[in-house]
Amino acid sequence: MTAPILFAAVALSAIPALAEEGGWRPLFDGKTLEGWTSPGGGKPGDGWEVVDGVLHRAGRGGDLISAAEFGDFELEFEWKVAAKANSGVKYRVRKSPQGWLGPEYQVLDDAGHPNGKVPKTSAAALYDVLPPAADKALRPVGEWNRSKVVAVGDRIEHWLNGKRVVAVRVGSAEWEAARKAGKFAKLAGFAAPGPGRILLQDHGDEVWFRSIRVRPR
């Protein structure tokens, strides 16, 4: 595990944080699932419900996919999970023969789920590619976490509770080495810049989202 963690630290120091600007657009209105579809393009599954301004995966509902596509953007969202739960937020998601594919911001109970024991599949990781910073500040089960994804050109950043925890350039030598070491080894264009959708994952567990918004860049 040492090498991936060292790589993440180098990447974080090598890529400057991107500046904040205005122009945020809500992706969840706190009342309905307007703007989201099922993977097939139809109505979202009944397992997703909206209660008191919060989007809750309460039962089997399938993934949620944004109707809109985004190129360069910042994405912010808040999330919490039930004990032992696993979920994720994917971006730059595109339809392929293997289904909807895109890089994933891992949403997880690190303490209760086996994936939490592996850095590159733990909470806030760029799932199965890069681990988050070892000193990330993950809040306990039942408490809200604030997350951000920045995807601008070849740059990808993951943030957790105000701290940048992943930073990488897609296509760099470091990226290719990390990609080829995991499940995306055969997908040469994985996470490449360009328009794609945003996906909220139904991984079979309870998860809650709120304050989902995007800022095109």
| Host domain of residue 145 | 2-17+27-216
Residue type, 195: P
The CA-to-CA distance between both ends of the chain, in Å, stands at 34
- pLDDT of 16 reads 53
Q: Which residue did the predictor score with more confidence, 15 or 159?
A: 159
Domains of the chain: total: 1
The rounded distance, in Å, linking the Cα atoms of 213 and 185 is 31
Q: Does any domain span residue 22?
A: no
Residues 6+ away with beta carbon under 8 Å from 137: 160, 161, 162, 163
Q: Does any domain span residue 157?
A: yes
List 216's β-bridge partners, or say none: 73
Backbone angles phi, psi at 212, to 5 degrees: -90, 120
Residues 6+ away with beta carbon under 8 Å from 115: 86, 106, 108, 121, 122
Q: Does any domain span residue 183?
A: yes
- pLDDT of 77 reads 98
Give, in degrees to the nearest 5, the angle at Cα 125 between 119 and 129: 80
Q: How confident is the model at residue 97 (pLDDT cuts 50, 70, 90)?
A: confident
Give per-residue pLDDT as tens, 21-59.
579 999 999 999 999 999 999 999 999 999 999 999 999
Q: Does any domain span residue 178?
A: yes
Q: How many residues does the chain have?
A: 217
Give per-residue pLDDT as tens, 168-190.
999 999 999 999 999 999 999 99
Q: Which residue did the predictor score with more confidence, 8 or 189?
A: 189
Give per-residue pLDDT as tens, 106-148.
999 999 999 999 999 999 999 999 999 999 999 999 999 999 9
Q: Does any domain span residue 190?
A: yes
- Greatest alpha-carbon pair distance for the chain in Å reads 46
Give per-residue pLDDT as tens, 186-216.
999 999 999 999 999 999 999 999 999 999 9
- pLDDT of 88 reads 98
Q: Does any domain span residue 150?
A: yes
Q: How confident is the model at residue 5 (pLDDT cuts 50, 70, 90)?
A: very low
- pLDDT of 190 reads 96
Q: Does any domain span residue 110?
A: yes
The rounded distance, in Å, linking the Cα atoms of 160 and 57 is 21
What's the CATH code of the domain at 188?
A: 2.60.120.560
Q: Does any domain span residue 71?
A: yes
